Chain A
Amino acid sequence: MSAPPPVIELRGIEKKYLSGRFAVEALRGIDLRVDGGELVAIMGPSGSGKTTLMEILGCLLQPTGGKYLFKGQPIESIPPDGLARLRGEEIGFVFQSFNLLPRLSAAENVELPLTYRSVARRERRERAARALERVGLAARARHRPAELSGGERQRVAIARALVNTPSLILADEPTGNLDTQTGESVLELLFSLVRDGATVVMVTHDPRIGERAERLVTIRDGLIDGDGATGAAAPRRGAP
């Protein structure tokens, strides 16, 4: 029996776009492989292309060059509806600013990915309740985001990312809007998801967080600058 394909495999990914009259090269040939169960931190200065990379990983953005295989399947061969399904079923997003829908309760926010998968209402409720319980917010299920603290909102966002038991959780600065203590508890939650078998790719500014990940990928000017086990983020092979 052959080993399962990596969750993410990027080969020479490029992304160019027009900013006014100027062409910007956000990514200039990224190679990256993430296996199931890994916790990968991506670090880099502002404008290095890490958010663009996350958006491509989340299939929110199409690369302009290179090849992206998700669990062995080339992304460019998947039609738009298929990509929507992939986002709904295989990928969970955690954003820096939570991106919860203010008019929905915590439970309804968590249910949201399930509504687009035609999951029956009762099952949606049960799964949302389990996800909220997993992040320690069972008691706050009926609260609206405005009635929750920052840490609680991010936990709801993590529950939303979890509810479909995705193959990949993408977290973009998940602690960026939180104080140190709250951020710590959110991080701890993400780490515990990895211990339970989830694959997490996390963009962060904070070197202390990066060091705590198993693997740290640094990115600079649209290229991978370093990729290795934490504490020893070795220069990428072949890099100048």
Chain B
Amino acid sequence: MRLREAVREALRTLRVSWLRTVLTLFGIVWGTASVIFLLAWGIGVRDMIEGAYLRVGRNLVQVFAGQVGEDFTPAADRRTLWFTLDDVDVVRQRSRYASLVLPESHFFREVSYRQTATTLNVRGVTPEHVSLRGVRVAAGRPIRGDDLSHRRRVAVLGAEARRRLLGAHGGIGSIIRIGGQSFTVVGLLDDVGMQLWQDGPTRLDEQVWIPLTTLFLFGPRYGRDAEVVDNILLGLRDRRLRHEAEREVRAILAERLRVSLTDEEAIRTASPLASLEKLPLDQIDDLLFTLGVTTLAIGGVGILTMMLDAVQERRQEIGVRLAVGARRRDVLIQFFLETFVIAGAGGLLGAALGLAGCAALAAVAHGDLIPVPVVRWEIVAVALSVMSAVGFLSGLFPAWRASRVDPSVTLRAE
């Protein structure tokens, strides 16, 4: 029997017993749709969580100074440490893993606009901060190099800071007062949204950015020099090399600050990447994949049961086919193809359903609150491969059983 004949025969049989076919299809359709939907949703969950973690800055490592550790000096003499702009320059020159090395300092000050006064986190920044943080300037301009060189009193407001301070009125050009000094608002940052990781007490949306050098004019803080750098921010070239980058910057700064390389209290690092690594995102992926594949396998068991039933019911037919010249191989191929046609049709329908489900959720979901499924061709490929494997395995056994039917028994039974 030619393959085309066998496929035609399989389709005909399926058409004739259409109710059973449809019921069986349901399992495989649902299974394939589940695999696609769950995997796409898993990527959405990961994207949402990663997005919320990394909104503080992509590939960010924050380095800040503490005190000389207890193990390294008597408690009474513990030296308070801080960084300077020179330290930042040295790190920038020597670091092989960071593409951006930026200084940042900050304090809380009362910030007022007309009758409104509120305490806000004011950050002294550099022009590259916008790129390191990955935040868009919604209106106006960012802090520029010449703002730093002229120590201009200009400010860029985070979305929430703007709402609290300026309200519905005021925008670019508004004059605000920070710690009693007048600043001109030259830029407004875009809404950053939910942040699951912060490199300080406030979210980006709540901050007021001013030139770092202007911040230094506010004078010495906490008994340190005036030009204290609170944070050194590293933008890594490759997030997978975070440990190497941290070791490197720690070595450079330990030498600069004359502290022990192993003194973890002296030079500290923090990164959203480290927090992300602790999350069981891979396990979530694995769980979703297992759930999807199990659903599909259950669909496969449905096919298996149906086909075993079909073989039992059609023993007489098999006997007749063998009597009129079918080889056992022909019977095997026929039953296998019937299964595979069901699995194939179910897989394609399921893929369509899964993709439609993803599109539907993507249309209503908000990326911050509900994960948006992310469909990649690999997911469809995985779902269809798993479906093929399920179809293949669940088709093989019934087909083998069919090919073992003894025509002399089944024809005589009639």
Contact = CB atoms under 8 A, between A and B. Distances in A.
The reply to whether chain A is a binding partner of chain B is: yes
Instruction: Specify which of A60, A93, A96, A97 lies most central, judged by the most chain B CB atoms within 10 Å of its CB.
Output: A60
Given A103-B12, A116-B1, A93 B323 contact: yes
Interface stretch (B198-206, B289-297, B326-334): B326-334
B312 to A, nearest CB: 16
B15 to A, nearest CB: 9
Interface in B25-59: none
B89 interface: no
Interface stretch (B143-151, B218-226, B260-268, B406-414): B406-414
Contacts of A103: 12-13, 16
B351 to A, nearest CB: 30
A195 interface: no
A116 B408 contact: no
Given A80-B327, A118-B1, A55 B408 contact: yes
B322 interface: yes
A99 B320 contact: yes
A97 B244 CA distance: 82
Contacts of A99: 316, 319-320, 323, 411, 414
Contact of A88 (B2, B5, B325, B407): B325
B323 A60 contact: yes
B168 interface: no
Contact of B324 (A51, A80, A81, A88): A88
A117 B325 contact: yes
A115 B321 CA distance: 10
B17 to A, nearest CB: 8
A84 B317 contact: no
B16 A95 contact: no
A88 B328 CA distance: 13
Interface in A68-110: 80-81, 84-85, 87-89, 93, 95-97, 99-101, 103
Given A103-B13, A103-B16, A51 B321 contact: no
Contacts of B414: 95-97, 99
Interface in B295-324: 316-317, 319-324
A44 interface: no
Interface in A14-29: none
Nearest to A101: B317
A205 B110 CA distance: 114
Contact of A116 (B12, B319, B325): B325
A60 B324 CA distance: 10
A126 B299 CA distance: 42
Given A60-B407, A61-B408, A103-B13, A93 B324 contact: yes
Interface residues of B, number: 26
Nearest to A52: B408
A74 B1 CA distance: 26
Interface residues of A, number: 28
Interface string A41-56: 0000000000100010
A87 B320 contact: no
A144 B323 CA distance: 20
B411 A95 contact: yes
Given A51-B412, A115-B5, A160 B324 contact: yes
Contacts of B326: 84, 88, 116
A240 to B, nearest CB: 30
Contacts of B329: 81
A101 B323 CA distance: 12
B320 A101 contact: yes
B88 to A, nearest CB: 81
Contacts of B319: 99
Nearest to A157: B320
A85 B325 contact: yes
B327 A116 contact: yes
Contacts of B5: 115
A63 interface: no
B316 to A, nearest CB: 7
Nearest to B414: A97
Given A58-B323, A61-B408, A116 B330 contact: yes
Contacts of B13: 103
A60 B322 contact: yes
B322 to A, nearest CB: 7
Contacts of A117: 325
B194 to A, nearest CB: 60
Given A61-B408, A95-B414, A112 B321 contact: yes
Contacts of B323: 58, 60, 87, 93, 99
B412 A115 contact: no
A95 B317 CA distance: 13
A113 interface: yes
Interface in A183-237: none
B324 to A, nearest CB: 4
23 contacts: A60-B323, A81-B329, A84-B322, A84-B325, A84-B326, A84-B327, A84-B330, A87-B323, A87-B325, A93-B324, A96-B414, A99-B320, A101-B317, A103-B12, A112-B321, A112-B324, A113-B324, A113-B325, A115-B1, A115-B9, A116-B1, A116-B330, A160-B324
Q: What are the 4 A-B residue pairs with the smallest beta carbon separation, nearest first?
A: A88-B325, A113-B324, A116-B325, A84-B327
Interface of A: 51, 55, 58, 60-61, 80-81, 84-85, 87-89, 93, 95-97, 99-101, 103, 112-113, 115-118, 160, 164
Interface of B: 1-2, 5, 9, 12-13, 16, 316-317, 319-330, 407-408, 411-412, 414
Given A112-B324, A115-B1, A115-B9, 9 more contacts: A84-B322, A84-B326, A84-B330, A88-B326, A99-B411, A101-B317, A116-B326, A118-B2, A164-B325
